Amino acid sequence: MASLFGLARRNWLILNPPEAPKSATPLRFGVLGAADIAPQALILPARSHPDVIVQIVAARDPKKAKAYAQKHGIPEVAASYQDMLDNPNIDCVYIPLPNGLHFEWALRALKAGKHVLLEKPSVNNATEAEILFKSPLLSGPNPLVLLEAAHYVFHPAWTAFMSYVTPAEVASAKAVIWVPKWKFAADDIRYRYDLGGGALMDLGAYTASVLTHMFGALAEECEECVTQAAAYDSRCDRLFKARYRFPGGGLGEMEGDLKAPLDRLSPDIHVEHKPIVVSSADAGVKAIEGQEILRTRKIKFSTFVQPAYVHSIQVTDEFKVRKVGDSSGKYIKEWTNSKTIKAYSFREAGIDQPGESYWPTYRYQLEQFVNKVRGREVQQWVDAAESINTMKMIDMAYRTAKLPLRPTSEYKPAESGA
């Protein structure tokens, strides 16, 4: 009963976070686009952050922007995107625009001197990613901050999960993510090629990122990618199944569906390590001369995208005892140890780091983004190379599927900046 009460309380607080008293000089954020994701990704998390105020919103339709501001308690409405960027009182910009607009408006925001929290996927393709994340505006003595909002890597559950993953020893990994078929209309922006639509762009941004983390590297090749076209535009994939080969022979797979049946709801990660020789202490047994112990570790991370609501990390270690150097396949003894880990706060993960059990992934992400802007140490981050590699993975899949890469923006940053 206590666990059910804790679950209910945590989930209520995720959606109804306590209001934190604000600091004397908080960072003032602008939201570029009246997007559905912004309340979850920034507006609600900002309530419990003492150093953040969501000050202004801009949208193509001024009436929509005004209604959005009233609904979400945002004090100001900008006349246009550029008007918001030109506002000297705004420190940071959150960009949840359609994918095809990310590149231009991220660069424009950086040129205006704003720190940028950029929705995933960061841009439309790897070419744009290379230009954006290597912009001279991000270097120098006081560089601006640019972060792709791969929010799940900021949660304590991800840190706990990764503590059991050894990338150099991973043999195979699979990441799957599903969206129920009723979620998005047939003409949703996710199915518009000109706006950077496609399941690989929307869901593959998660799964491709996961695979690069599991192997600690970019894939060498996408060996196969099967897609199903969206009804609205055949250049946009509705679902995908991709297989990659990683350095050292590792096999990575990912699947996603924007119109999945209801029996496919949990976004999961499956990892299997290569068999390795471990110490008797690691195996929890007494050492015997002339024998060695092999361990094969398997991990399943359920609901990795939004672990704050509920999640589990199942770690299964298969042990086999053999004579030292015996590769015949004969074993003296075999057994399996399993355990389930959950971590809703860093305290639960045994880590000394701020956070509450009701903080969602986006709140943990905001904590680190603010730390970075303020010049403080960050414990979790998504660096430029990781964001570029995610787009390279997606581009590989599109090429293998014989679908066009999402179009490169016509916006041309100036040589000296954006």
Given a cut of 60, is residue 123 above it in pLDDT? Answer: yes
pLDDT above 90 covers a percentage of the chain that reads: 91
Which entry of 114, 120, 259, 298 is annotated as an active-site residue? 120
259 assigned to active site: no
Q: How far is CA 139 from its chain centroid? A: 24
Q: Which of 30-39, 234-243, 284-293, 379-388 has the lowest mean pLDDT?
A: 284-293
Residues 6+ apart with CB under 8 A from 269: 161, 173, 174, 175, 210, 214, 299, 300, 301, 304
End-to-end CA distance of the chain: 56
The pLDDT of residue 417 is: 55
Q: Which of 145-159, 284-298, 358-372, 378-392 has the lowest mean pLDDT?
A: 284-298
In the sheet with 76-77, reading across from the earlier edge strand, the strands are: 76-77, 52-58, 27-32, 92-95, 115-118, 146-148
DSSP codes of every residue in 334-369: EEEEEEEE--SSTTTTT------TT--HHHHHHHHH
Q: In whole angstroms, what is the distance from residue 369 CA to residue 49 CA?
A: 11
SS3 55: strand
Decide: 254 and 207 in contact? Cβ < 8 Å. yes
Given a cut of 50, is residue 345 above it in pLDDT? Answer: yes
Q: Quickly tell me which residue has 């686009």 as its tokens.
A: 33
SS3 243: strand
Average pLDDT of span 83-95? 98
Q: In whole angstroms, what is the distance from residue 198 CA to residue 313 CA?
A: 29
Given a cut of 70, is residue 415 above it in pLDDT? Answer: no
The pLDDT of residue 6 is: 77
How far, CA to CA in Å, does 201 sit from each of 89, 376, 391, 406?
A: 33, 32, 9, 9
Average pLDDT of span 134-144? 92
Residues 6+ apart with CB under 8 A from 275: 294, 295, 296, 320
The pLDDT of residue 34 is: 95
Q: Read off the DSSP letter of residue 95.
A: E
Q: In whole angstroms, what is the distance from residue 58 CA to residue 68 CA?
A: 9
Q: Read off the DSSP letter of residue 202.
A: H
For the record, the structure tokens of 105 come out as 């408006």
Given a cut of 90, is residue 127 above it in pLDDT? Answer: yes
pTM above 0.85, yes or no: yes
Q: What is the pLDDT of residues 295-311, one digit of tens each?
A: 999 999 999 999 999 99
Q: What is the pLDDT of residues 273-293, one digit of tens each?
A: 999 999 999 999 998 899 999
Q: How far is CA 266 from its chain centroid? A: 16
For the record, the structure tokens of 98 come out as 């359609």
The pLDDT of residue 301 is: 98
The pLDDT of residue 416 is: 44
